[in-house]
Structure 1
Amino acid sequence: MNLIKIFRSYDYQKLAKLNEVVHNLHVKLYPRYFTPYNLLEMEVEFEKLMKHEQYTFLILSYENENKGFIFFEILNKPSTPFKKPYKSLYVHQLSINESEQRKGYGQALMEKTQQIAHSEQVDCIELDYWIKNESARQFYRKNNFMLEREFVRKNI
């Protein structure tokens, strides 16, 4: 009997709390760009995000305890003089509670996301992660994501 459940959620309070791990990692790695985690402010922000019908939030629970979430949207990229059209599933956030990492929960969320991508007939799954987030790099490489583009910054 599989005790893992993955379900769509509109509970902005649960999502704001589950976001704490990944947000704190971003703050630690990039304090210049990220503000300290504030639960109440995150709840307000996630409540706003819930109003956008194109966003999907999935929570993974095991034995009725929430372990993590994924936040994505499906994008229809139109044809331009520069690029051909395509449809993608863009992952905005993936976060697993720190004590629950490396137990297959992130993998389960990615597999569910791939199933949705297939059913929506998207061409690809896209995402980005911060370069200092080595665990994300390893996780996505393990899941056969290929580096196709690099984003660089020069601070002034």
Structure 2
Amino acid sequence: MVRFAEEKDLDIINELRKQVNDIHVEGRPDIFKAGFGTELRDYAQVLINGENSDIIVAERDGIICGMACVDYVNKPETPFGNARCFYHVQEIAVDVNHRRQGVAKELLEFMIEDAKKRKLGKIELDVWEFNESAIEFYQAVGFRQMRRWLEYEVK
């Protein structure tokens, strides 16, 4: 079952978010901070209570085993670009014990239906290059690359 999160879900949501943070810390310790402090924990509540954001959770046998933090973006026209509205996935996590069991796909299917209801024609997200399993999943379900960020290390 996939549904919108409630405040009573925050503890398990933050456990899942910490798993994602740990992956990022391991992949890029030069960018991401180890640990999962109060500000990171409190951000989940901001999303649940936000006017243009939500957290979606996936349950198996009544236990939350996956989640996605999303926001609904409305970018006005600028001299450089057209106005556009889209569904933005900030974070997606599946508990380590439930990976490769269809949980992320269920979350995505829920997001697709929710995006349709909101009349948002695209779902966008970004992913770090070190997160190869996430990239493989996103490509397998139909996401395609639309932009690249590059870095140059000055020595």
* TM-score of the two chains, using structure 1 as the length reference: 0.89
Partner in structure 2 of residue 74 of structure 1: 72
Which residue of structure 2 aligns with residue 8 of structure 1? Answer: 5
Change (3 A) 1:100 1:39: farther
SS at match of 2:25: helix
Structure 1 moving runs of 4+ over 3 Å: 39-42, 47-51
- The aligned length equals 153
Please give the residue correspondences for 1:22-37 in structure 2 after superposition, counting only pairs within 5 Å: 22-37=20-35
Cα distance in 2 for residues equivalent to 1:74 and 1:47: 16
Match of 2:114, SS state, is helix
Letter matched to residue 15 of structure 2: K
Other-structure match for 1:153 = 151
User: Equivalent residue for 1:56?
Assistant: 54
Q: In the alignment, residue 151 of structure 1 is paired with which amino acid?
A: W
Instruction: Determine what percentage of the aligned residue pairs are the same residue.
Output: 24
1:40 CA drift (Å) = 4.7
Q: Cα distance 1:110–1:151, how it changes in 2: closer, same or farther (>3 A)? A: same
Deviation, 1:23, is 1.0
TM-score by length of 2: 0.90
Contact map agreement 2:2 2:106 (CA 8 A) in 1:
no
- Deviation of 1:18 after TM superposition, in Å, equals 1.7
1:54·1:73 contact (CA, 8 Å) conserved in 2? yes
Residue identity in the other structure for 1:118 = K
Q: Tell me how far apart the structure 1 counterparts of residues 81 and 43 of structure 2 sit (CA, whole Å).
A: 33
1:117 aligns with 115
CA shift for structure 1 position 41: 5.0
Structure-1 residue corresponding to 2:91: 93
Q: Any idea what SS the aligned residue of 1:61 has?
A: strand
Within 2, Cα distance between the matches of 1:144 and 1:5?
20
Distance 1:51 1:67 in 2: 21
Once the two structures are superposed, residues 57-115 of structure 1 have per-residue CA deviations (whole angstroms, 9 ceiling, x without a partner) of 01111101110100101111111121111110000000000111000000000000000
Which of 127, 132, 150 pairs up with 1:134? 132
Give the letter for the 1:99 counterpart.
N
What code does the residue aligned with 1:95 have? Answer: A
2-structure distance, mates of 1:35, 1:120: 35
RMSD: 1.7
